[in-house]
């Protein structure tokens, strides 16, 4: 129950911060993607199911508040959460190397898929878009994700400690 409340609060906080604070600290109109950081972090820390659920929740909220089409980001973020969740048991969670690489690749992949939707609208200048938008956003997101991943790791460790403590209390 406590985990559900914590994740719900994190999702609400993400939407609030992405639309206000993150926009305020943009560098040359490039902002980091807090949603990708959150989805990949929790998918790696908790697994496919939680990655998929958080990805869908943040994706549908992204579609409602920021997107042009309902369902595009929900589907994209859901797949990102699911795919990254497959690696949750294959790395040392306190190590930053794999999560940072996963966040960078997920952000790059998401931006490339979003670019494909631009192709349907007649925007075909890939190299310009890659250099001016995708590469700076991936770099900014990767840099910021170091601190945010550590924060999510701390929260996850506290929630797991609470779950173990609660489980041991119930055995008495």
Per-residue pLDDT tens over the stretch 7-52? 999 999 999 998 888 888 888 888 999 999 999 999 999 999 999 9
Q: 78-105 as b/e, with b when 16 or more CB fall inside 10 Å?
A: bbbbbbbbebbeeeeeeeeeebbebbbb
Residues 151-162, mean pLDDT to the nearest whole number: 91
Residue ranges covered by each domain of the chain: 33-171
With contact defined as beta carbons under 8 Å apart, do 69 and 109 qualify? no
Reported pTM:
0.90
Using pLDDT thresholds of 50, 70 and 90, give the confidence band for residue 89: confident
pLDDT score of 114: 87
With contact defined as beta carbons under 8 Å apart, do 56 and 74 qualify? yes
pLDDT score of 138: 95
For domain 33-171, give the fold.
Answer: Arp2/3 complex 21 kDa subunit ARPC3 (1.10.1760)
Residues 156-170, mean pLDDT to the nearest whole number: 79
């Amino acid at each position: 129950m406590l985990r559900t409340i914590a994740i719900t609060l994190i999702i609400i906080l993400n939407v609030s911060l992405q639309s206000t604070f993150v926009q305020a600290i943009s560098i040359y109109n490039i902002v980091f993607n807090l949603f990708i950081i959150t989805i990949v972090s929790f998918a790696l820390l908790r697994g496919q199911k939680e990655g998929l659920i958080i990805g869908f929740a943040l994706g549908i909220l992204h579609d409602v508040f920021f997107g042009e089409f309902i369902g595009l980001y929900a589907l994209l973020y859901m797949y990102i959460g699911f795919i990254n969740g497959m690696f949750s048991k294959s790395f040392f969670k306190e190590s930053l190397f794999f999560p940072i690489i996963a966040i960078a690749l997920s952000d790059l992949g998401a931006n490339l898929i979003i670019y494909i939707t631009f192709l349907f609208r007649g925007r075909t200048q890939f190299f310009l878009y890659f250099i001016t938008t995708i590469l700076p956003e991936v770099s900014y997101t990767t840099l910021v994700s170091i601190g945010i991943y550590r924060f999510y790791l701390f929260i996850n460790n506290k929630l797991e400690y609470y779950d173990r403590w609660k489980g041991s209390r119930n055995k008495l």
